[in-house]
């Protein structure tokens, strides 16, 4: 969800909270030129969606004030340049230290992720581990699902590439994704059948036990 896809008034509420920090409904209404009741309707919707929060501030006289502010989710609606930063960082490492340093970096990242994945898969059957792998990848933004093609033969599908911008310019990123699956499913063969970077609409991986 991007901030600019939100209704106009709601978007302006978020922008004001981003610019000025915590604000009351009264002050928001004054800034927007609408009624306090109108602002409260927008605030209720945003809070219901987890985009803003409120805190109660006691006053010496009268009722306490309600201060509204962005949550982490709300803050993430504003533009970010994570992919560009990561890409420039990788290019700098390669320029300064060379391609082998970049490869070592991805190797280290792969092993760290493999350890995290294994911690959630230990003691499970191959079928259960494939299902868990799909859950983990979905949590990481890959929109993954899986299906059983036959006895002990599975298909893992990722409908989104969470590192697409990096992978397009740094092929080793994709090769290490495949290596990651092979490390955590070390009793199986894992082959990539479709590949988003090569023009397919999804990445698919065929998984079968080693003979």
pLDDT of res. 112: 95
Q: What is the pLDDT of residues 73-120, one digit of tens each?
A: 888 888 776 777 777 888 888 888 888 888 899 899 999 999 999 999
pLDDT of res. 203: 95
Please, what is the average pLDDT of the chain?
A: 89
pLDDT of res. 13: 93
pLDDT of res. 96: 86
Q: What is the pLDDT of residues 127-147, one digit of tens each?
A: 999 999 999 999 999 999 999
Q: Examine the pLDDT at 125 and tell me if it is beyond 80.
A: yes
Q: What is the pLDDT of residues 55-76, one digit of tens each?
A: 998 888 878 889 999 998 888 8
Q: Label residue 181 by pLDDT band (50, 70, 90).
A: very high
What average pLDDT score do residues 190-202 get? 93
Q: Of the spans 2-16, 87-101, 194-208, which averages the highest pLDDT?
A: 194-208
User: What are the distances in angstroms from CA 100 to CA 91, 104, 164, 165?
Assistant: 13, 6, 22, 21
What average pLDDT score do residues 178-198 get? 95
Structural domains of the chain in order of their starting residue, each with its CATH number: 3-75 (1.10.10.10), 82-209 (3.30.1380.20)
What average pLDDT score do residues 40-68 get? 90
What average pLDDT score do residues 3-15 get? 78
Q: Examine the pLDDT at 50 and tell me if it is beyond 90.
A: yes
Q: Examine the pLDDT at 1 and tell me if it is beyond 50.
A: no
Facing residues of 47 across strands?
A: none
């Amino acid at each position: 969800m991007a901030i600019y896809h939100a209704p106009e008034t709601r978007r302006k509420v978020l922008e004001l909270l981003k610019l000025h920090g915590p604000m009351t409904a009264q002050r928001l209404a004054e800034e927007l030129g609408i009624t306090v009741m109108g602002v409260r309707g927008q605030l209720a919707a945003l809070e219901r969606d987890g985009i803003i929060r409120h805190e109660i501030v006691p006053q010496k006289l009268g009722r306490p004030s309600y201060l509204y502010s962005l949550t982490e989710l709300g803050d993430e609606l504003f533009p970010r340049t994570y992919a560009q930063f990561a890409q420039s960082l990788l290019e700098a490492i390669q320029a300064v230290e060379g391609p082998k340093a970049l490869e070592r970096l991805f190797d280290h990242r792969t092993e760290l992720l493999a350890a995290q994945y294994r911690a959630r898969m230990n003691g499970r059957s191959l079928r259960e581990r494939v299902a868990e792998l799909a859950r983990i990848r979905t949590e990481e933004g890959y929109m993954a699902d899986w299906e059983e093609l036959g006895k002990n033969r599975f298909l893992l599908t990722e409908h989104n590439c969470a590192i697409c911008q990096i992978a397009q310019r740094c092929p080793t990123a994709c090769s290490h994704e495949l290596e990651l699956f092979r490390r955590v499913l070390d009793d199986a063969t894992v082959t990539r059948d479709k590949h988003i970077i090569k023009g397919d609409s999804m990445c698919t991986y065929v998984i079968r036990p080693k003979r």
